[in-house]
Amino acid sequence: MFIKKEELNLNTLPKHIAFIIDGNGRWAKKRGMPRSFGHKMGMQTVKKIVTDCYDLGIKVVSIFAFSAENWKRPKKEVDYLFNLFYEYLTKNKSLFLEKNIQFRVMGDYTKLPKDLSDEIESVINLTKNNSKLILNIGINYGGQDEILRAVNLAIKDGKELLTKEDFENYLFTKNLSNPDLIIRTSGEERLSNFMLWQCAYSELYFTKTYWPSFNKKQLEKALINYQKRNRKFGAIKEE
Ligand code: IPE
Ligand code: IPE
Ligand code: MG
């Protein structure tokens, strides 16, 4: 029997995709390798998936790279991750400029090692006027911390009653649209403190694939699945 292949509709792609990249450690363990190898290969996947999103014309890509809770991991692993991020930025900043990619960060990056936080700041400034794709990385990021920080910043500004729009100006995602689609790899089906304010009406997609094995084909599968959803935002919308 002939089964029609489902096709991706390039006209109804999400504007903002957020990735909770998970499973680097388990991917490596399954191959008898150290967790660090999983992180290294996971970083390759980040590069490839960002390129795939760029080629598809996605406007905003958020990536949860290091949570405010990931400090609980052994120092050696944390340091390895920070080195990887540093390397990623130094190696890719010219590409960001060439491809008109704006680099942004969610999270308190000033608490990271100085060379990394300086590099982050420099790449943010260097790319701030770029507009083809916004690459928004969550690093030392927690959704609850972000909301609390916003409240405290508003208090500091002498604000009393805020509208939703006022409040959003105090979030790291100021001026960014909310994620239309959140993809989490590795089979875990939770948000782990990711974009708690912004996820209110995001479509959630979970796959068992570990992040280093996630590829363009699987991204397309997630997007086809997203395109079948009926986003209602509380209203009544016929299928
Ligand atoms: C995701 O992979 C990357 C980070 C959280 C930094 P993990 O390191 O969480 O991998 P697992 O979940 O232990 O397999
Ligand atoms: C979520 O992954 C954080 C990132 C992807 C950076 P974790 O592996 O830290 O999440 P939990 O601990 O399984 O919830
Ligand atoms: Mg994990």
Catalytic residue among 70, 83, 130, 169: 70
Confidence tier at 4 by pLDDT (50, 70, 90): low
Q: What is the pLDDT of residues 121-178, one digit of tens each?
A: 999 999 999 999 999 999 999 999 999 999 999 999 999 999 999 999 999 999 999 9
- What is the CB neighbour count within 10 angstroms for residue 35? 19
Residue 172: closest CA among 150, 152, 154:
150
Domains and their CATH numbers in the chain: 16-227 (3.40.1180.10)
Q: Among candidates 97, 83, 104, 106, which has minimal Cα distance to 36?
A: 83
Please say if 145 is a catalytic residue: no
Our answer on whether the CB atom of 138 is closer than 6 Å to any ligand 1 atom is no
| pLDDT over 90, % of the chain | 96
pLDDT bin (cut points 50, 70, 90) of residue 5 is: confident
Q: Is the pLDDT of residue 29 over 90?
A: yes
Tokens of 84: 């990887």
Note whether 100 and 80 are within 8 A (CB). no
Testing ligand 2's pocket by substitution, the residue of 22, 45, 184 carrying the most ligand atoms inside 8 A of its CB is: 22
Q: Which two structure tokens, joined as six digits, stand for 65?
A: 């790279």
Is 70 one of the annotated active-site residues of the chain? yes
Locate all alpha helices (DSSP H) within 57-201, ordered by sequence: 75-98, 114-127, 143-156, 164-168
Give me the pLDDT at residue 2, please: 67
212 neighbors 42 (Cβ within 8 angstroms): yes
CA distance 106 to 4: 41
Say if residue 90's pLDDT is above 80. Answer: yes
Q: 10 Å Cβ neighbour count for 72?
A: 8
Q: How far apart are the CA of 80 and the centre of ligand 3, in A?
A: 15
* Stated pTM of the model: 0.97
Give the span between the Cα atoms of 73 and 161, in whole angstroms.
39
Percent pLDDT > 70 in the chain is: 98
Structure tokens that stand for 172 in this block: 């790291």
Is the minimum distance from the CB of 70 to ligand 1 under 6 angstroms? yes
